[in-house]
């Protein structure tokens, strides 16, 4: 997900992710930490989601923020439908690494929804 000001689209995306939860465990990759916190805060303020820690009023460390959202996903008393999230930088480091891999295009899926 990228940071932009189409808040209606961000809300629709969260609703789709909530629907996907019944079919699996939604994972989101944001273009940056700032976009992640801005969009997550919007979802919370719009009443679509909640986190026990509330909104991210600063830009905390990614590992701390991801831990709180993972705990919320496991908590049946909390309305949070995203299993895991990351930034493109974090996802790149965790999968392809600094040396990269020869990734077979057959294993990459692009979805338009």
The three-class DSSP label of residue 79 is: coil
The pLDDT score that the predictor gives to residue 99 is 59
If you write DSSP's letter for every residue of 14-59 in order, what string do you get? Answer: HHHHHHHHTTS--EEEES-HHHHHHHHHHHHHTTS---TT---SS-
Provide the residue ranges of all domains of the chain, joining segments of one domain with +. 7-99
The pLDDT score that the predictor gives to residue 6 is 92
The token pair at 79 is 């309305």
Q: What DSSP element (H or E) covers 20?
A: helix 7-21
Burial zone of 53 (CB within 10 Å; 0-12 exposed, 13-18 middle, 19+ buried): middle
Beta strands in the chain (DSSP E): 27-30, 84-87
Q: Cβ atoms within 10 A of the Cβ of 44, count? A: 17
Q: Report the C-alpha gap between 78 and 94 in whole angstroms.
A: 28
* Residue that wins the pLDDT comparison between 26 and 45: 45
Q: What is the pLDDT of residues 51-103, one digit of tens each?
A: 998 999 888 898 999 999 999 999 989 999 999 998 988 777 767 766 566 66
pLDDT band at 34 (very low <50, low <70, confident <90, very high): very high
Please tell me whether the overall predicted TM-score, pTM, comes out greater than 0.85 for this model.
no
């Amino acid at each position: 997900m990228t940071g932009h000001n189409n808040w209606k689209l961000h809300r629709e995306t969260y609703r789709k992710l909530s629907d996907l939860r019944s079919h699996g465990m939604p994972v989101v990759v944001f273009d940056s930490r700032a976009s992640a916190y801005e969009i997550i805060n919007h979802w919370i303020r719009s009443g679509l989601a909640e986190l026990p820690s509330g909104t991210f009023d600063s830009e905390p460390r990614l590992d701390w923020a991801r831990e709180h959202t993972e705990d919320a996903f496991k908590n049946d008393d909390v309305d949070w439908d995203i299993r895991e999230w990351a930034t493109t930088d974090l996802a790149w480091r965790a999968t392809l690494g600094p040396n990269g891999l020869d990734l077979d295009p057959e294993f990459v899926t692009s979805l338009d929804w």
